Structure 1
């Protein structure tokens, strides 16, 4: 399976969406929304903002690897 490295992430506060490139070998814990400027963190139990608010899970999760 080819790992996808691009995800559309949605701000849970203002609803702004942005297409972002995900790191391939780690999780991204923070994301600054370009719409409202809020610093977004993952939901409890998720490893990164892409797994919580993106349309594609982060590359380590796609590959069933530990990333945290």
Structure 2
């Protein structure tokens, strides 16, 4: 299995590296592994939905 770093996923998903790390820390990315101080993310992982956008949509209803 191939893995990507948070920087590579951030570029692929068009979000910040910090947001990817937060997703990993919160357990929102299945298969993400913390190796030392670096998150390794399976390359076939889909981008999780941003919970901030879901809250905003709920507030507008």
TM superposition score normalised by structure 2: 0.28
- Relative to total residues, which structure has the larger strand share, 1 or 2? 1
Relative to its length, the structure with more helix (as a share) is: 2
Give the TM-score, by structure 1 length. Answer: 0.27
